[in-house]
């Protein structure tokens, strides 16, 4: 396969992606082939050494957002089954007949995932609220020193105590909330990556 | 090696190559070849990822009548290397601990 053929083939394989995506990868691989040829390699050998187009396309796919991947996958499946009209009809019939079975299961899975998501963020939200109420306590503590002074020394000490406890709680819970949020985001990203890999590698 | 682990390391390897000066795709692969052999199809998404996260800056230079893309490391990229080294320092401590425990057992 020569350079033109290779790039043409890569272009066809990537045709479901945005033209910007296609242009970027075409220019990258074209540069790679040119550099190898300049280094003294035969054009065909240079193309050969880039590896299979399938591998290249898979690597590019893994970097795309999940929604694009899902859309492309559905489109691919649809195009593939277009010419197998008979089998397609059977699948559609089965999907419709099986609807009472698969729909509740799918809905259940999504509901569980969603609930998990809500629970995690509620936990984080409550930490933020505690942190905020710490600020509130500190402010009230400071403001009450003046009226407390008219009663005596002990109320003033009490107010100062409230102030420091408030500040302490704010700092402590601020970090707790921050790290919880970071953790949840990291987990979500890892989960999406996992789903992506399943989609791209699964045939 | 664990795939995920290697993936994260390769990003840093590419950045490390760029610390020595701006470079282009083919050259990066050759420079890396002494430590880890990496294919074009692996490098391409890495460079895209690094570009998107702002760790590298891309510019084109004319070379023999065609354009060649050069990659330069940014402050964000340098920061990534520092973070990596810090993380691995604690990893190496764990490694030493495990190795010590294993040797004692022999």
- How confident is the prediction along chain A (203 residues), in pLDDT tens digits per residue? 788 888 888 888 777 667 777 888 888 888 888 888 888 888 888 888 887 888 888 877 777 767 777 777 777 777 666 666 667 778 888 888 888 888 899 999 999 999 999 999 999 999 999 999 999 999 999 999 888 888 888 889 999 999 999 999 999 999 999 999 999 999 988 888 888 888 777 64
Judging contacts by C-beta atoms under 8 Å, the chain A residues touching residue B64 are 34, 38
Show the tokens assigned to B88: 């691995």
Return d(Cα B92, Cα B106) in angstroms, integer: 21
Tell me what pLDDT residue B4 has.
66
**Predicted-complex ipTM score:** 0.77
What backbone torsions phi and psi does residue B21 show, to the nearest 5 degrees? 135, 160
Given its phi and psi angles, is residue A152 left (phi above 0), alpha (psi -120 to 50 degrees) or beta? left
CB proximity A54 to B under 8 Å: no
SS3 B70: strand
User: What residues contact B90, with CB distance under 8 A and at least 6 apart?
Assistant: none
CB proximity A63 to B under 8 Å: yes
Tell me what pLDDT residue B44 has.
86
DSSP state of A14: T
What is the reported pTM? 0.56
Task: Select the residue from A10, A25, A28 to test the B interface by mutation, using most B Cβ atoms within 10 A.
Answer: A28
Q: Please judge whether A62 and B45 are an interchain contact, meaning their C-beta atoms are less than 8 angstroms apart.
A: yes
Instruction: Show me where the domains of chain A are located.
Output: 3-64, 112-201
**Longest CA span, chain A:** 95
Judging contacts by C-beta atoms under 8 Å, the chain A residues touching residue B39 are 50-51, 55
Return d(Cα A14, Cα A32) in angstroms, integer: 18
Q: Give the pLDDT confidence of B23-74 residue by residue, as tens digits.
A: 998 889 888 888 888 888 888 888 988 998 899 999 988 888 888 899 999 9
Task: Select the residue from B24, B27, B40, B56 to test the A interface by mutation, using most A Cβ atoms within 10 A.
Answer: B40
């Amino acid at each position: 396969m020569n350079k033109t053929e290779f790039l043409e083939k890569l272009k066809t394989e990537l045709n479901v992606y945005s033209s910007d995506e296609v242009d970027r990868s075409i220019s990258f691989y074209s540069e790679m082939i040119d550099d190898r040829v300049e280094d003294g390699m035969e054009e065909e050998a240079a193309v050969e050494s880039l590896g299979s187009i399938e591998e290249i396309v898979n690597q590019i796919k893994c970097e795309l957002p999940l929604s694009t991947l899902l859309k492309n996958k559905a489109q691919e499946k649809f195009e593939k089954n277009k010419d197998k009209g008979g089998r397609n009809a059977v699948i559609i019939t089965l999907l419709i007949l099986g609807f009472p079975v698969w729909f509740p299961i799918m809905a259940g899975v999504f509901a569980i995932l969603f609930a998990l998501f809500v629970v995690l963020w509620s936990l984080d939200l409550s930490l933020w609220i505690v942190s905020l109420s710490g600020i509130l306590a500190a402010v009230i503590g400071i403001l009450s020193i003046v009226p407390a002074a008219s009663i005596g020394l002990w109320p003033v000490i009490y107010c100062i105590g409230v102030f420091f406890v408030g500040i302490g709680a704010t700092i402590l819970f601020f970090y707790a909330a921050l790290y919880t949020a970071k953790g949840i985001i990291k987990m979500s990203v890892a989960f999406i990556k996992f789903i992506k890999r399943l989609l791209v590698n699964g045939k | 090696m664990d795939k995920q682990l290697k993936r994260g390391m390769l990003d840093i390897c590419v950045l490390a190559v760029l610390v020595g000066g701006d470079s282009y795709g083919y050259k990066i692969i050759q420079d890396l070849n002494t430590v880890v052999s990496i294919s074009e199809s692996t490098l391409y998404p890495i460079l895209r990822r690094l570009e998107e996260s702002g760790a590298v800056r891309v510019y084109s230079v004319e070379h023999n009548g065609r354009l060649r893309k050069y990659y330069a490391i940014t402050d964000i990229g340098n920061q990534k290397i520092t973070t990596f080294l810090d993380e691995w320092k604690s990893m190496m401590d764990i490694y030493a601990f495990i190795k010590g425990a294993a040797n004692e057992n022999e």
